[in-house]
Amino acid sequence: MSGTSLRGKTAIVGIGGAGWGEAPGRSAMELLGEASLAAIADAGLELKDIDGLCAATSTHAFPTLSVAEYLGIKPSFFEGTNVGGSSFEMHLLQAAMALEAGICNAVLVCYGSNQRTAGGKLVSMSEPQWHESPYKPRHPITAYALAAQRHMHEFGTTREMLADIAVSARQWANMNPAAFERGPLTREDVLNARMVSDPLTTRDCCLVTDGGAACVMVRADRAKSLKQKPAYVLGVGGAHSHRSIAQMADLTRTVAAESGPRAFAMAGLKPSDCDLVMLYDAFTITTLLFLEDLGFCPKGEGGRFVQDGTIAPGGKLAVNTSGGGLSCVHPGMYGLFLIVEAVMQIRGQAGERQLDTCDVAICHGNGGTLSSQVTALLGSGATL
């Protein structure tokens, strides 16, 4: 029951982005629209070819209705599951099922946000939890800070180890012309930055940027005849654990430990098969937790694993080669931006930061406050 019949049956054939960083004067829908049209053109398709639509945003109650109207499409399949930043990895699974079932022929997955220029704060439709609100948590950072504190307590993880994650991300970003934050960043810079919520400083936190992203999926047979080298969807798995951080059973163990094995089982792969590891880095602690929970290092060892450039350019494991949410782009819900980078690497279009070999990429989306975990495995034609 691991869904292996979906392995390699669909592929991402188009990717697009718009307004990464700052896009003054542009609305979330405008950025989403520009990214979507770029992805459709990248695939060599036209808007009229799109008959499936997946969308989730931080600002639209009915995202598929808003997007379909804005673009002027009439999808026969539409999917608006909103599990925060992990929505778009789940959309890949929904799109793969709909395509394979013949309900539609070309699915657009899209996102846009102008949260940086619209106010500079994370925009969220997330409702407060009544049993938390008197204490004024500043989610998401409060929840992630609580998880980081617990990880430090249980496993001896240090702030320096967390800082090395931000430093590694910046080193990748310095090779990505699309990254918003570039330039030198040292461990000391991270440690000495303003403390926001113990133990996390501003440099342990993702950026707040604008940006749109989109991708287009079709069945594998059609993918071969399109413009770009296909990135096949090999496996996707999701898991939920809680809504309120107070209800998370163990703050050092996310259900990426469940979504990962589901995705790997569908794909018939294991962590050591991954050439590229794209992990949702809302905060430095999330990279660390997902390295552990997805099986790239033992539980509790994430801090020691990331020391000394293991995940930096030239290190043993290529993690977040775009620069991630920490240094490249993070417009509120970042999950689709993981996918865009993975597809670029699989195609060999990543420029200076291009990996020598990138046949298998893992994209791990995180939503809520470590609440929803969705893992997607993408591969080149060599993996079929």
Instruction: Compute the least distance from the CB of residue 255 to another protein, in Å.
Output: 15
Which of the ranges 46-54, 142-150, 267-275, 302-310 carries the binding residues for another protein, by CB under 8 A? Answer: 142-150
**Residue 127 in the binding site for another protein (CB under 8 A):** no
Instruction: Compute the least distance from the CB of residue 131 to another protein, in Å.
Output: 4
Alpha-helical segments (H) within the chain: 28-42, 63-71, 87-100, 115-118, 141-155, 159-173, 187-192, 220-223, 256-267, 284-293, 302-306, 324-327, 335-347
x/- mask, another protein, residues 149-168, rule CB under 8 A, reads xx--x---------------
Tokens of 28: 């979330």
Cis before residue 128, ω within 30 degrees of 0?
A: no
Which of the ranges 19-27, 34-42, 137-145, 298-306 carries the binding residues for another protein, by CB under 8 A? Answer: 137-145
- In the complex with another protein, the residue whose CB is nearer, 197 or 345, is 197
256-267 vs 284-293: helix axis angle to the nearest 10?
50
Radius of gyration over every alpha carbon of the chain, rounded to an integer in angstroms: 19
Which of the ranges 6-14, 50-58, 191-199, 259-267 carries the binding residues for another protein, by CB under 8 A? Answer: 191-199
CA dihedral of residues 49, 51, 54, 58 (deg, nearest 10): 80
Give CA separation, 63 vs 2, 88, 129, 220, 276, in Å: 29, 13, 23, 27, 31
Instruction: Compute the least distance from the CB of residue 153 to another protein, in Å.
Output: 5
- In the complex with another protein, the residue whose CB is nearer, 248 or 329, is 248
The single residue among 48, 74, 121, 131 that binds another protein, judged by CB under 8 A, is 131
DSSP 8-state code for residue 252? T
According to CB under 8 A, which residues from 192 to 231 bind another protein?
194-199
Give the binding-site size for another protein (rule: CB under 8 A).
Answer: 26
* Amino acid at position 80, single letter: G
- In the complex with another protein, the residue whose CB is nearer, 69 or 198, is 198
Q: Look up tokens 């407060």; give the residue.
A: 128
User: Which residues form the interface with another protein (CB under 8 A)?
Assistant: 130-132, 134-138, 142, 145-147, 149-150, 153, 194-199, 244-247, 251
